[in-house]
Chains A and B, each alone.
Chain A
């Protein structure tokens, strides 16, 4: 591939900066695209972009830098292949308010249910389906926090969102999953 092929220094940098995070890049791409094959395409493209941009890495947080490129590549891929996934987040907020009115938010009656009951008989496929059903804007924050373990400020860096927005989307994502599992339980 014609990307500064003979630049040995770039290759060394790529090996040191990007390669250590490839597994995580693949995991994030899998969750964003919903399957492994598409994730491979995204990671390949992200590798290429990272290689081209390796000189612009500021040397602070390689993990966040790599995941930023992966996320951006996944968004490009989705825009091209599944544009319906890219929906303004505002579109979900009205719908969410309606849902909250219907289920009464976090009602006190929930407390009387043992907290583990909700997830005790959980099967993995239901949990995965609930994650996959999340709007992309919420799903990415949940994945970066609860599966990859990034801190809020790192998620803010990767997604270019304010930390407060990261916090609110994460809370919404988790509530949606719990709500979905509860609904399926009924």
Chain B
């Protein structure tokens, strides 16, 4: 795989996700932030992933515990 403007190393690409998730220590976050600023492909992955995360958080209806489950819960407690 080449490291030109249209292909990015998979490691860098994964680090974009860790950067977005706040999982990098400050030193690594600075490095990855600079890489994103310098690479249109990484910037695209960053923006699209950020939008996806927001959509997942805001648009999906919650899977709520059925009201009757409390009864079953008591039964499984013995």
Residues of A within 8 A of B (CB): 1, 3-7, 11, 14-15, 19, 22-23, 26-27, 30-31, 36, 39-40, 43-44, 47-48, 51, 104-108, 110-111, 115-116, 118-119, 122, 124, 127-128, 142, 145-147, 151-152, 167-168, 170-171, 174-175, 177-178
Contact = CB atoms under 8 A, between A and B. Distances in A.
Contacts, number: 128
B55 A27 contact: no
Nearest to B68: A40
Nearest to A153: B23
A103 to B, nearest CB: 11
B42 A19 contact: no
Interface string B41-74: 1111101111111011101111111100100110
A11 B16 CA distance: 44
Contact of B43 (A6, A111, A118, A124): A111
Contacts of A118: 48, 51
Given A27-B63, A177-B52, A115 B17 contact: no
Interface residues of B, number: 43
Given A44-B76, A47-B73, A27 B6 contact: no
Interchain residue pairs A-B with the least CB separation, the first 9: A115-B47, A30-B63, A47-B76, A110-B44, A27-B63, A106-B41, A111-B40, A146-B56, A26-B65
A115 B76 contact: no
A26 B63 CA distance: 7
Interface of A is mostly: helix
A11 B73 CA distance: 11
A23 B63 CA distance: 8
B78 A1 contact: yes
B27 to A, nearest CB: 17
A166 to B, nearest CB: 9
Given A107-B6, A111-B44, A124-B60, 6 more contacts: A27-B63, A106-B44, A108-B40, A111-B40, A111-B41, A128-B60
Interface of B: 5-8, 10, 13-14, 16-18, 21, 23, 40-45, 47-53, 55-57, 59-66, 69, 72-73, 75-78
Contacts of A3: 78
B21 to A, nearest CB: 7
A92 to B, nearest CB: 15
A167 B42 CA distance: 16
B75 to A, nearest CB: 7
B7 A105 contact: yes
